Structure 1
Amino acid sequence: MTELTYSTFRSRLLAFIINFVPFGLLALINKFIIFPASESAADIADIIFYIFSLFYYIFLQYRYGQTLGKWVMNLKIVKNETAKKVSLRQILIREILCITVVLFSCIDSIVTYAEPDTDLAYTTFISLLLLLAPALYMIADILTLLSHSKRRALHDLLAKTVVITEIPGRK
């Protein structure tokens, strides 16, 4: 097997930013331009947006081993032991936190849409959960990535994957 070149924190961060920019812009356009006054329509659009973004990450990473950001940065997700194509199961494990956040967001949007006078305690709890859980997970993910010899983040360890830098011309 050819010697693998493991991704750097910097290249993974740039790939994350490249992936985030179009989605962030679409979210802002949705909230402030398309549906600025209609909360129920914005909630429905949010659900569609969440599902689309989840599909984007899962499909591209499963099919190609990379998202647009990883492609631009020449990064690819592979199985840790064999450096072969990852399975759908591995991608789902890698994305479990995102899947969970999307589920909670959709449930929150549906409940808010169906019951506009939802209990403030419920809304506060869900909002805190949607902010706190990903933040704590992301901190653990970054610390693991920075300290691991193969630069594997927590989600890579859980899914038994590694992100490598593809060197053009080398297979």
Structure 2
Amino acid sequence: MYANKYSNFWRRLFAVIIDGLVFLPLQWIDEYILSGAIGSVGVFLWGVVSAILGISYYVVLHAKYGQTIGKMVMKVKVVDVSESRNITVKQSCMRDIVPIIMLPFTVYVYAQLAFFGKTWDSLDQGSVFIIVSLIMISWVVLESVSMLFNEKRRAVHDYIAGSVVVRQT
């Protein structure tokens, strides 16, 4: 049973998918806003607000409950590596340090979309966008691989934050 509480790769994966469904309405709003329904300032402000909402969802829910909605459904919880307490706000921020670091890039992208006549297609062709995309893909692969090759199934962000994800009984 000891190793069983860490055997949660699939649960974590499905939790991410469920959390993606939670954000689906925001993606619909994003598509509507980027369709030209509102002006440039509105597009830019929406981009900033939606990025902050995304990060806040994970940071606040992990700090307060140790779980996002997806983790609640899949019955896994983020706790301090000692497994004796919930994670702190600082630990929760450290778990999401990469999205937090990416926030200025997100603001840059929405500024390009809002004020400089760029489209998603034109941004996809830019070297900065391609480099950032490759870095993010590499990060996701590193996270996944790191979870598979340690006893407690800790991803890199768990090591950074001093946390571990366990099954709830």
Instruction: Tell me, yes or no, whether TM beats 0.5.
Output: yes
Q: 1:76–1:166: 8 Å Cα contact kept in structure 2?
A: yes
| Correspondence for 1:127 | 129
Q: Where do residues 8-23 of structure 1 align in structure 2 (5 Å cutoff)? A: 8-23=8-23
Higher helix share: 2
| Structure 2 letter corresponding to 1:11 | R
Q: Where do residues 94-105 of structure 1 align in structure 2 (5 Å cutoff)? A: 94-105=95-106
* Superposition TM-score, scaled by structure 1 size: 0.82
| Structure 2 letter corresponding to 1:138 | V
Q: 1:105–1:130: 8 Å Cα contact kept in structure 2?
A: no
| Correspondence for 2:77 | 76
Q: Where do residues 14-163 of structure 1 align in structure 2 (5 Å cutoff)? A: 14-31=14-31, 33-38=32-37, 40=40, 41-116=42-117, 124-163=126-165
Q: Distance in 1 between matches of 2:65 and 2:158?
A: 17
Alpha carbons of 1:60 and 1:152: their partners in 2 closer, same or farther (altered >3 Å)?
Answer: same
| Structure 2 letter corresponding to 1:26 | L
Q: Distance in 2 between matches of 1:90 and 1:7?
A: 22
CA RMSD of aligned residues (A): 2.5
Q: Could you tell me the percent identity over the aligned residues? A: 27
Where structure 1 has 5 or more consecutive residues not aligned to the other structure, the ranges are: none
| Structure 1 letter corresponding to 2:159 | L
Q: 1:62–1:91: 8 Å Cα contact kept in structure 2?
A: yes
Alpha carbons of 1:35 and 1:116: their partners in 2 closer, same or farther (altered >3 Å)?
Answer: closer
Alpha carbons of 1:126 and 1:22: their partners in 2 closer, same or farther (altered >3 Å)?
Answer: farther
The count of corresponding residues between Structure 1 and Structure 2 is 162
Q: Distance in 2 between matches of 1:6 and 1:127?
A: 36
Q: 2:43–2:110: 8 Å Cα contact kept in structure 1?
A: no
Shift in Å, 1:116: 4.1
Shift in Å, 1:103: 2.5
Alpha carbons of 1:10 and 1:102: their partners in 2 closer, same or farther (altered >3 Å)?
Answer: same
Shift in Å, 1:98: 1.1
* Superposition TM-score, scaled by structure 2 size: 0.83
Where structure 2 has 5 or more consecutive residues not aligned to the other structure, the ranges are: none
The 3-state SS of whatever aligns with 1:162 is strand
| Structure 1 letter corresponding to 2:130 | L
Shift in Å, 1:80: 0.8
